Amino acid sequence: MCGIFGIVSNQKSINIGKIALESIRRLEYRGYDSCGILSQYNSKLFVKKDAGKIDDIHKKLKLDEFPNGSKLALAHTRWATHGSPTKINSHPHLDCEDKIAVIHNGIIENFIELKKELLSKGHFFKSETDTEIIPHLIEENMKTNKNLKEAVANAIKKCKGAYGLAICHADYPDTIIVVRRESPLIVGIEEGKTTYCASDIPAFLPYTRNCYILEDNEMAILKAGTAEFYDINDCDNPKQKEIQLIKWSIDAAEKGGYEHFMLKEIYEEPSALRRTLKIPNDSLNKFAEIILSAERIYITAAGTSFYAALAGKFIITKFLGKYIEAIECSEFKTQLINSLEENSIIIAISQSGETIDLIEAVRWAKEYRPSAKIISITNIVGSTLTRHSDNIIITQAGPEIGVAATKTYVTQVLTFALIALEIAKLTKNESQEEIQKYYNALYSTPEIIEKFFEKNVELIKYIVRNLEKNLNFFFLARGISIATAKEGGLKLKEVACRFVEGYSAAHAKHGPISLIREGYPIIFIAPPDETYERLIGNLMEFKSRGGTIISLVVEDDDKITNLSDTTIRIPQPGDKYHNLFSPITFIPALQLLAYYAALEHNLDPDKPLNLAKTVTVH
């Protein structure tokens, strides 16, 4: 989620600051709320860091100017997780003596306990970040053991969570130590001259194509033009690693080898879900308590976030047993000007946290009913929405660059599901055993999506080719899957410029069905939930009028499969636990369909016509 970069060289004329600055610019897509660069010279560390975009900070601080002769630098571009995006929270973070510097991509899950322990030993902290415990842990270890490599290894062994780390010490002028667990870390080598490290290859691709990819629990000692690798649990015996030659262009490398950000981000859904599954229980529990205590609950959002709200409303009401109204944020004030009650709870949901209609809705609600509570779900720490909220949960999708929201949608629905299960625990309307089955289904969502990707891409491309001439589509569903129909339809509209009516299958016979002619394509979203039998009836209404039926079903479906022209099978069980979370597992199929349809029509899926990623005008 953050971008890290390091360089150590023995080249006389090298401009270390300039290289570090250019390199984090190439990583800016990984996070862009603050940045920092450090260089080491004459046993001193020189740090420049601040909140904001790299270019703005560079204008203020001249990020490429460091002492002449400096041969080592670390650089970081941040995507805030712990601590808002401020200068103090920007990386690098240093120990008490300003000797040890660390840049980090990931989350140290046990940082609160470790911080307490370090505070009791006299360490003082400047930031609110989880990262800052690492230089202090190393400092603490070096009190008894002057060996930097061992001190780093011992410190890291105490940390739980995910990390890609680059570390340097003022008194070790020619050494960077890197460590990895769960977060990516790559070492690039210009043999005998310069060594680089980065959380992604594009950072150093203009300088070298030779690299080593660190595995989990590996550590490397980087010196100018060399790298030595170790297992974190065995620092005495260096490991052999195979060098890899990178053939991608810089542009392709930024997209991780994918042709477009949209495709990369769809494929990142399993990892985004896994991170979101780790949202701390206390923040979910807080949301659950607030929702349970409320008389009136509204959810509000725009676009994809609104469709996540429709799915979320369905999942939460199942366990809450109270009505929740979902209102598009642009209509929020108009609809509630005469009826927003005291003490209402407003759940605001937004990927960016900057959508102007949403900000206006929550501002208005707070002014009109100061007793109303705003609780928000967003992907961006420090966004405007977070500043107007009483409580926030940050989804863990990571930066989303493609204009079409994809991985952020699944993490939003997952967040609603996690809150819903906290509500279930509190109301005790379901047994512990039953709740655990819902959790198990939720934990299996990343794997279901991975399996889906393994088997179905060619089928989706085939469907796209067959539908190439169709300009209009219906995406139909009942119950919770109406959210999937609407979101899937929005994707096809956005990136492939096809018109889609994402609609209730039952309601479609009250008018829209008059459009159906021979060959009109209709996609039915059909998990085997309580709406399944009735959906078959709706499907027949469209089939008997000549519609071409494509259905999204679970692995062992037979009834709808037999009635459809084509089926896309989602590799999951059709039990009630998995069906409830089908908005998460069924949507990748429709996102891929939209993506490949865009390519079929020679459209750039990352730059849909007339759209912006964040809508800040009314």
Q: Give the active site residues.
A: 2, 613
Closest approach of ligand M6R to the CB of residue 301, in Å: 6
* Closer residue to ligand M6R, CB minimum distance, 40 or 355: 355
Burial per residue of 346-381, b for 16 or more beta-carbon CB atoms within 10 angstroms, e otherwise: bbbbbbbbbbbbbbebbebbbeebeebbbbbbbbbb
Out of 404, 441, 449, 483, the only residue in the binding site for ligand M6R (CB under 6 A) is 404
Closest approach of ligand M6R to the CB of residue 416, in Å: 14
Q: Evaluate whether 280 touches 161 at the Cβ level (below 8 Å).
A: no
Out of 3, 303, 502, 583, the only residue in the binding site for ligand M6R (CB under 6 A) is 303
Task: Quote the crossing angle between the two packed helices 432-443 and 407-427, to the nearest 10°.
Answer: 170
Closest Cα partner for 358 from 299, 289, 280?
A: 299
* Closer residue to ligand M6R, CB minimum distance, 271 or 614: 614
Give the whole-angstrom CA distance, residue 332 versus residue 356: 12
* Closer residue to ligand M6R, CB minimum distance, 358 or 448: 358
395 makes contact with ligand M6R (CB under 6 A)? no
For ligand M6R, the binding residues in 457-476 under the rule CB under 6 A are none
603 makes contact with ligand M6R (CB under 6 A)? no
Q: How many CA atoms lie within 13 A of 38 on its CB side?
A: 28
Q: Evaluate whether 255 touches 225 at the Cβ level (below 8 Å).
A: no
Closest approach of ligand M6R to the CB of residue 423, in Å: 23
Task: Quote the crossing angle between the two packed helices 407-427 and 281-293, to the nearest 10°.
Answer: 70
Give the whole-angstrom CA distance, residue 68 versus residue 175: 18
> Whats the size of the chain, residue-wise?
618
Out of 23, 81, 350, 579, the only residue in the binding site for ligand M6R (CB under 6 A) is 350
* Closer residue to ligand M6R, CB minimum distance, 250 or 611: 611
Closest approach of ligand M6R to the CB of residue 417, in Å: 18
44 Cβ contact list (under 8 Å, min separation 6) = 170
405 makes contact with ligand M6R (CB under 6 A)? yes
Out of 40, 194, 276, 305, the only residue in the binding site for ligand M6R (CB under 6 A) is 305
Closest approach of ligand M6R to the CB of residue 615, in Å: 5
Residue type, 252: A
Give the whole-angstrom CA distance, residue 11 versus residue 222: 15
Closest Cα partner for 554 from 527, 533, 536, 593?
A: 527
Q: How many CA atoms lie within 13 A of 97 on its CB side?
A: 13
455 Cβ contact list (under 8 Å, min separation 6) = 571
Give the whole-angstrom CA distance, residue 516 versus residue 546: 7
Given the rule CB under 6 A, which of 197-205, 250-258, 399-407, 497-505 is the region that contacts ligand M6R?
Answer: 399-407
For ligand M6R, the binding residues in 475-504 under the rule CB under 6 A are 494
Give the total of residues touching ligand M6R (CB under 6 A): 16
For ligand M6R, the binding residues in 502-561 under the rule CB under 6 A are none
Given the rule CB under 6 A, which of 169-177, 344-352, 443-451, 468-476 is the region that contacts ligand M6R?
Answer: 344-352
Out of 175, 351, 384, 445, the only residue in the binding site for ligand M6R (CB under 6 A) is 351
Residue with the shortest CB distance to ligand M6R: 303
* Closer residue to ligand M6R, CB minimum distance, 194 or 355: 355
Judged by the rule CB under 6 A, the positions of this chain that interact with ligand M6R are: 302-305, 350-352, 355, 358, 403-405, 494, 611, 614-615
